Structure 1
Amino acid sequence: MPDPGLEPLQAQDLALIALGHVGQEWPQKLDHVLTGPMDLLRPALLHPMFHGSFDWHSCVHAHWLLARLLKLFPDLPAAPAIRARFDAAFTAENTAAERAYLARPSARGFERPYGWAWLLKLHAELVGTPWHAVLAPLAADFAARFRDHLPRADYPIRAGVHGNTAFALLLAADWAEAQDPALLALLQDTAWRWYGADTDCQAWEPSGEDFLSPALVEAACMARLLGPARFGPWRDAFLPRLAARQPASLFTPARVSDRQDGRIVHLDGLNLSRAWCLRRLLATLPEGDPRTEVLRAAAEAHLAASLPHLEDSYMGAHWLASFALLALEN
């Protein structure tokens, strides 16, 4: 089976999925603390930039998907609609409103760390566009939150959902590398502090609502933040039995029993994000390494399990395409 990759027709399909929901206000799941009746506002007033796609973070990474596709395929048929969407969403007024929401005392933990990292990844993708400067103050706010929070975070979060800290470090690294070397150093130091001593991963997964593999996303995080000389020995100590397809759970795509269920459908995201992580690990292996085919076959199996189901229900359609793009482009 050939190595799957992103093609223009597929890119157009992904773009149309995202364009179909980035401005869809309802239904909406808010991360919102009510401090009084004055806080009872509709999503479009609370978040004029990111009020679509069911929740704030999904709207952010849907815009990342569109920005990435626009960069990869500037002549995509959907490109004019993407540019129009960005012109409408990325305005100075909307940035100011999102920053004002973030400045509320009740919003200290808003979208930590998942939404923080996706916002930085979106901003990094907008380099070279007129929207980059517009979004810069909001990105700076989230970078400041990382700088403030990470030194106080004594322990990592190894969940398979939004709180996962390895995923956040991994996504934030692109922005930090380009914009803030001190933050990149903090991400690197934090990754080593949290995960440097981990060995012989047992991979007790998946849980019933995971969209991330705690084991594989940790490995992908370390591949991104450690240099090759440091990562190779760490990888081989953390996943010493890859050639034997062990831990077996990492090589078995998750079954998704109900794609109408907003939490069970997370498992489609798990399959896609595992494919992404497996392919990142694959890129760290030397040519001819016997683990290469093992990882490639596992990535293909995970993609095949969930790629056909991106639009089976809105519970998946409002976010899965972003994870598909991560896996396909890698």
Structure 2
Amino acid sequence: MDRLDIDIASQLAQLTLGHVRREYPHSESFRSQNVDDQPGAPGDNHPIFYGSYDWHSCVHGHWLLARLLRRFPGLPEAGHIQALFDQSYTADKVAAELAFFQRPGRAGFERPYGWCWLLKLFAELAQLEDQRSGGWRDQLQPLVYEIADRLQMYLPRLLYPIRSGTHSNTAFALLLALDYASQFDSSLAELLKAQARQYYLNDVGYQGWEPGGEDFLSPGWQEALLMKEALGVEFAEWFEAFLPELAAGRPAQLLIPVEVSDRSDGRLAHLDGLNLSRAWCQRQVLSALPASYAARDTIQASATSHLQAGAAHLQDDYMGEHWLATFLVLAFDGL
């Protein structure tokens, strides 16, 4: 399994349709302002993105379905996906989602991971609607504009990048947001590229102190993929300085798939996602390096082994089932 075809797409669509409307179990974290400010049922707070265990996973579940529908218009599940979008992207439901974000104490809700997946979803819907009419993107715009504005205000205040391997990772957020901004918001795109340079341009000799025990992103590989997009023709030189010993297999821990001890533990199950996200980053980074680059075979072999390791566990437990398919498609397709 090394590419996305209609049979795999159909399996992933069925899997995702099975959880984007599954309300429980559900996890959510936000600040309550007072005794009366208590969370309601997920579907009351989020009439669109209430499934898939948490808000951000439901958002990127929608992205996954939009991507599969765009890539494979003849998908057997196409009618079910279109019906979901027709029922979800309505003015009243988007207004309710927006109202949740605008309540006091919600300024940091889903920042930055969920924010940037929402922007990515919007960009995917825009491409999908070039093929078929739906009006979904237009309905989602008020929420998307709110989030884009929040991101533009937040980034200049983030003086240092967050280099974790989980939801707060800055490189991942900038990368997803850049896909949206390059199409719809030139001032945000300029800010994202400027911030990427500010945060990462001078990074050299990455030591590869990863993985963390609950990571689903590789801080090093994620940074490299962002800089591929931010630097363009300057990227290959930057990358050789960033990982100068890769041809010799160092740092070794960046090239070896990780193991998972307990897939029923949601945080430990993150490591299956790390294997898939590393494969995604490695394959995309490789595409930007010259044919003469000495570590091409090393990166390719690592990407293949990571992809195989992650793809084998999509449905072992709901703690992975509700989100891993998204990262499999990233590994196959890129952004």
TM-score scaled by length of structure 2: 0.96
Q: Does 1:269 align with 2:268?
A: no
1:116-265 equivalence runs, <5 A: 116-127=115-126, 128=129, 129-228=134-233, 230-265=234-269
Amino acid at match of 1:170: L
Give the corresponding residue for 2:317: 313
Give 1:242 shift.
1.6
Cα root mean square deviation, aligned: 1.1
Aligned counterpart, 1:324: 328
Local SS of the residue matching 2:227: helix
Contact 2:39 2:45 in 1 (8 A): no
- What is aligned with 1:92? 91
Residues 48-87 of structure 1, C-alpha deviations (whole Å, 9 max, x = no match): 1100000000000000000000000011001111111111
Q: Kindly state the Cα deviation for residue 292 of structure 1 after the two structures are TM-superposed.
A: 1.7
Shift in Å at residue 225 of structure 1?
1.5
Residue 108 of structure 1 and its aligned partner are, at CA, apart by 0.4
Q: CA deviation at 1:218?
A: 0.5
Which sections of structure 1, spanning at least 5 residues, go unmatched? none
Report the secondary structure of 1:309's partner residue. coil
Q: CA deviation at 1:41?
A: 1.0
C-alpha contact (below 8 Å) 2:216/2:275 kept by paired residues: yes
**Mapped contact 2:214–2:269 kept (Cα < 8 A):** yes
- Return the offset for 1:37: 2.5
Other-structure match for 2:16: 18
Runs of 4 or more above 6 Å deviation: none
SS in structure 2 opposite 1:234? helix
- Residue ranges of structure 2 left out of the alignment (5+ in a row): none
Report SS of the residue matched to 2:297. Answer: helix
Give the corresponding residue for 1:31: 29
For residues 113 and 292 of structure 1, the distance between their equivalents in structure 2, rounded to whole angstroms, comes to 32
Pairing 1:282–2:286 present: yes
The answer to whether the Cα contact below 8 Å between 2:236 and 2:290 also exists between their aligned partners in 1 is no
Give the distance between the partners of 1:114 and 1:122, measured in 2 at CA: 12
Matched with 1:112 is 111
In 2: Cα distance, 1:227 partner to 1:279 partner: 16
- Render the CA deviation track for 1:76-102: whole Å, top value 9, x for unaligned: 001111111111111111110111111
Whole-Å Cα distance in 1 between the matches of residues 251 and 316 of structure 2?
A: 30
Identity %: 51
Q: Work out the CA distance in 2 between the residues paired with 1:314 and 1:54.
A: 9
TM-score, normalised to structure 1, is 0.97
Equivalent residue for 2:3?
Answer: 5
Q: Aligned equivalents of 1:109 and 1:257: distance in 2? A: 32
User: For structure 1, which segment, 115-124 or 31-40, has the greater mean C-alpha deviation from structure 2 after superposition?
Assistant: 31-40
Provide the C-alpha distance between the structure 2 equivalents of 1:225 and 1:130, rounded to a whole number of angstroms: 31
Residues 120-177 of structure 1, C-alpha deviations (whole Å, 9 max, x = no match): 0000000124211011111111110111001111010000000000000001111000
**CA distance in 2 between partners of 1:207 and 1:289 (Å):** 29
> 3-state DSSP class of the match of 1:227?
helix
Distance 1:121 1:312 in 2: 27
Q: Is the 8 A contact 2:276 2:331 kept in 1?
A: yes
* 1:211-266 Cα deviation digits (max 9, x unpaired): 000000011111111122x2122111111112112110110100011111111100
Q: 1:290: how far off?
A: 2.9
| Structure 1 residue 31: Cα displacement | 2.2
How far apart are 1:38 and its partner, in Å?
Answer: 4.7
Give secondary structure in 2 for the equivalent of 1:212.
Answer: coil
Give the Cα–Cα distance (whole angstroms) in 2 for the partners of residues 179 and 314 of structure 1. 35
Please give the alpha-carbon distance, in whole angstroms, between the structure 2 residues aligned to 1:38 and 1:280.
Answer: 44
CA distance in 2 between partners of 1:162 and 1:64 (Å): 17
Residues paired across the two proteins, number: 327
Deviation at 1:40, TM superposition (A): 3.5
